[in-house]
Amino acid sequence: MSSRGGKQKKGNVTSEQEEEEQPLQAVLVADSFNRRFFPISKDQPRALLPLGNVAMIDYTLEFLTSTGVQETFVFCCWMSNKIKDHLLKSKWCRPTSPNVVHIITSDLYRSLGDVLRDVDAKNLVRNDFILVYGDVVSNIDVSQALQEHRHRRKVDKNISVMTMVFKESSPGHKSRCEEDDVIVAMDSKSKRVLHYQKTQGLKKLQFPMNIFQHGSDEFEIRHDLLDCHISICSPQVAELFTDNFDYQTRNDFVRGILVNEEILGNQIHLYVTQDGYGARVSNLQMYDSVSSDMVRRWVYPLTPEANFTDQQGQGCTHSRHNVYRGAEVSLGHGSQMEENVLIGRDTSIGANCHISNSVIGNNCTIGDNVVLDRAHMWNNVHISSNVEIHQSVVCDGAVVKEAVRLNKQCYFSMLPVSQVVIGPNLSLPEGTVVSMHHPEEEEEDDDDEFLSDDQEVGHSKDKTRQKAFNPAEVGPEGKGYIWKASMNDTEDEELAQCLWGLVLNPDPESDSESEASEESQDRSRSVSPEIDDVNAFQLEVLGTLQRGLEENIVCDNLVLEINSLKYAYNITLKEVMQILTRVVLEYPFQQQGTQLTTLQYTGSLLPLLKTWSPVFKNYIKRAQDHLDCLSAVEELFLEQDTHQTAMVKVLMKMYQLEILEEEAILKWFSTGATNDKSRQLRKNQGLQKFIQWLKEAEDESSEEGE
């Protein structure tokens, strides 16, 4: 620590001297480190997905350049070649560009933390820098925030390490991403962040009292903030990431800084802006809303007709009701473009079409009598006549045959070479994903997911050909595989899934059991609401157990790991046991989704209990431990009331494995009931029988003993 302090001090002196001459730098992370856009992102990195016919990374670079950034480091991992090619061709790499773009690629980045550690290792930033993702669309003027940040750093001797840019917007607004909802407690005067918490999936919020006992007398607790994912960082941020190798995301970082504030003396500040637009395209829903905001000119001057990427032939004209037309667009007789429509160049549209709120890419052909509403079509899409598309994404080169109906939130993903064909005469339900990649490939390819993309794609193509397409799913002439047709109420499902700490959105991954544990751990970590230590601990335990299962780790080692986690997160023994019980019982849900039948559930749980019984035995020793464990079991089954019948089997198994003693169970049964629900639970027939049996067994054994 002391050496670090010395280094910091030295760095500060030089940075103060050079502050004026130093060009403004930015770190752009052109990788999402998750797979929300899967399977689209299998063929194209997220930063290159078109938004309003322009790659998302171009918006980010334009934003950076217009705020006066002179040097940008673009970090790519997944499909870095494609990003590199794109950037080299773009105006950013022309010699006249005011913003010098350096591209840094590595296959080893797994998270934002890795990138920033690399920034530190390579010593790239010398001064305050702007940190953004490659999918941020914004026109916010951050120079004000930058000034405030610099001022604070001068006044407070570099205590402030990061200023996060937020935009005011009411909760529930469509361009607010649910998973990014935060509640922030801050000092109104200094704008210092006192408490920062993601609210997704939380019903209760807790604020530590000590944050309100600090010097200032005015506090604000705000929930009306939209996270723009733009942060102004001091060079120390990179160093702090290096020091704390467990920081993966900005969230980890912010929480880490806040927790250790008193020890390290670092602070985080907030900049709240009212005007300007800033949002990150972090999932498909955000893609839809950002795209429509862009067409509605919220992101002015980054409008479609501005052609800010300066590409030949990308220009288009803007006419009333926000209708944008590229060059050489032909429109059939009787076709209507109602409002908020963007049509790329060389696209032809047949007669009597009805198009509203849609974006259509370059070189598309659309037949007659087509209805498009909130459709996002990329380049070279062919739509035959009588097709209806609602709120869907149709990717590069897709072919939709006659009389197909795509309902809400369908999306197609396809290889650029061999395209998905849908139809004719088919109606796809909501939330369908069709791809040229077979879903099962995914499981097989999982291990080398982050390795060289070219190899993998070629490899998977071979496999694709071997498998037949299902005509019932994609139509008689169809080509492609259905990934998942989710239930009607996607919203609810999303919420449920993220409560489980899994990935949101039409992500077929949640089905597959064989995913690499490390990665799932990372992902669940980056996605899940990280509320407090207990929750983090729970995730860690889950990760440990998963890995234990996959790598056949001896239970003793698992115990060791859990013990060390216990100290790391400062968890009491009682909580450890409760969490452990909970994690184990929830494990089947975690792995196979919440829709298991009771039979499936017990089927997968009981072997697990057997495997992990030594772990339990290690923690459940005293009589009180038994009771605590039982109450944890009870609590869980009260929540999962559909699976209450499974409870008996679980208790039975635990009894057989000698995890629980009969006296404890009996005691729990007779005394534990505290409210109506738990009384109800105890009336369960199976449970009563079990207790009956236990009593008899006890009697017998006591007789024998005599």
Partner 1 sequence: MPGADKETDLTERIEAFLADLKRGGSGTGPLRGSGEMARETTYLLRRITAQARWSSAGDLMEIIRNEGRRMTAAQPSETTVGNMVRRVLKIIREEYARSRGSSEETEQQESLHKLLTAGELSEETFREHFVHLKANVIEAINELLTELDGTTDNIAMQALEHIHSNEVIMTVGRSRTVEAFLKDAARKRKFHVIVAECAPFCQGHEMATGLSKVGIETTVIADAAIFAVMSRVNKVIIGTQTVLANGGLRAVNGTHSVALAARHHSTPLIICAPMFKLSPQVFTTCSLSLNDVNSCFPVLKILSKVNVHCPVFDYVPPELITLFISNIGGNAPSYIYRLMSELYHPEDHKL
Residue ranges binding partner 1 (CB under 8 A): 65-67, 94-98, 139, 141, 143, 168-170, 173-175, 274-277, 293, 296-301, 306-308, 315, 317-320, 339-340
Strand order in the sheet with 182-187: 193-198, 182-187, 219-222
Q: Which is nearer to partner 1, 319 or 642 (CB)?
A: 319
Place of tokens 């035995």: 617
Q: Which residues, listed in sequence order, are joined to residue 279 by a DSSP beta bridge?
A: 137
Give the β-pairing of 160-168 and 426-428: unpaired
Least Å from the CB of residue 411 to partner 1: 22
| Nearest Cα residue to 414 out of 463, 379, 388, 440 | 379
Q: Which residue is it, tokens 């216990």?
A: 566
Provide, rounded to whole angstroms, the least separation between the CB of residue 298 and partner 1: 6
Sheet bearing 365-366, strands edge to edge:
330-331, 348-349, 365-366, 382-383, 399-400, 421-422
Taking residue 573's Cβ as centre, other Cβ atoms within 10 Å add up to 15
Q: How many CB atoms lie within 10 A of CB 496?
A: 16
Name the residue nearer to partner 1 (CB basis): 317 or 427.
317
Q: How many CA atoms lie within 13 A of 341 on its CB side?
A: 24
Report the alpha-carbon distance of residue 496 to residue 354 in Å, rounded: 36
Closer residue to partner 1 in complex, CB, 99/460: 99
Nearer to partner 1 (CB atom), residue 275 or residue 704 = 275
Minimum CB distance to partner 1 smaller for 267 or for 282: 282
Q: How near is the Cβ of 486 to partner 1 at its closest, in Å?
A: 23
Which residues partner with 412 through β-bridges? Answer: 434
Return the DSSP state at 448. Answer: G
- Smallest separation, CB 295 to partner 1 (Å): 11
Asked if 130 and 186 touch (Cβ cutoff 8 Å), the reply is: no
CB of 319 to partner 1, least distance (A): 5
Q: Taking the complex as a whole, how short is the minimal distance between the CB of residue 390 and partner 1, in angstroms? A: 17
Nearer to partner 1, 174 or 214 (CB): 174
Taking the complex as a whole, how short is the minimal distance between the CB of residue 67 and partner 1, in angstroms? Answer: 7
SS3 assignment for 519-565 = HHHHHHHHHCCCCCHHHHHHHHHHHHHHHHHHHCCCHHHHHHHHHHH
Could you tell me the smallest distance in angstroms from the CB atom of residue 292 to partner 1?
Answer: 10
Nearer to partner 1, 69 or 583 (CB): 69
Query: Considering beta carbons, is residue 318 or 682 the nearer one to partner 1?
Result: 318
Q: Output the six-digit token pair for 490.
A: 């996607």
Nearer to partner 1, 274 or 685 (CB): 274
Q: How far is the CB of 201 from partner 1 (least distance, A)?
A: 22
Nearest to partner 1 of 278, 431 (CB atom): 278
**Tokens coding 266:** 């670092």
Backbone angles phi, psi at 474, to 5 degrees: -115, 10
> What are the residue ranges of helices labelled H in 19-110?
40-43, 56-66, 80-89
| Cis preceding linkage at 301, omega within 30 | yes
Long-range Cβ pairs for the range 15-19 (8 Å, 24+)? 15/126, 15/127, 15/235, 16/154, 18/126, 18/127, 19/127, 19/150
Contact 356, 343 (CB under 8 A): no
For partner 1, give the closer residue by CB, 172 or 458.
172
Q: Which residue lies nearer to partner 1 by CB, 290 or 420?
A: 290
As a residue count, the chain comes to: 706
Cα–Cα dist 134/47, whole Å: 5
Q: Which residue has the tokens 């990788």?
A: 31
Q: Name which of 129 and 308 has its Cβ closer to partner 1.
A: 308
CB of 259 to partner 1, least distance (A): 33
Cα 168 to Cα 165: distance, rounded to the nearest angstrom: 10
Measured from the Cβ of residue 87, the count of other Cβ atoms closer than 10 Å reads 24
Q: Which is nearer to partner 1, 91 or 461 (CB)?
A: 91
Q: In angstroms, what is the minimal distance from the CB of 169 to partner 1?
A: 6
Alpha-carbon distances of 244 from 240, 253, 267, 519, rounded to whole Å:
6, 9, 16, 19
Shortest Å distance, C-beta 312 to partner 1: 12
Q: Round to the nearest angstrom and report the end-to-end CA distance of the chain.
A: 65
Q: Is 221 helix (H, G, I), strand (E, B) or coil?
A: strand
Least separation in angstroms between residue 272's CB and partner 1 is 13
Compute the least distance from the CB of residue 293 to partner 1, in Å.
7
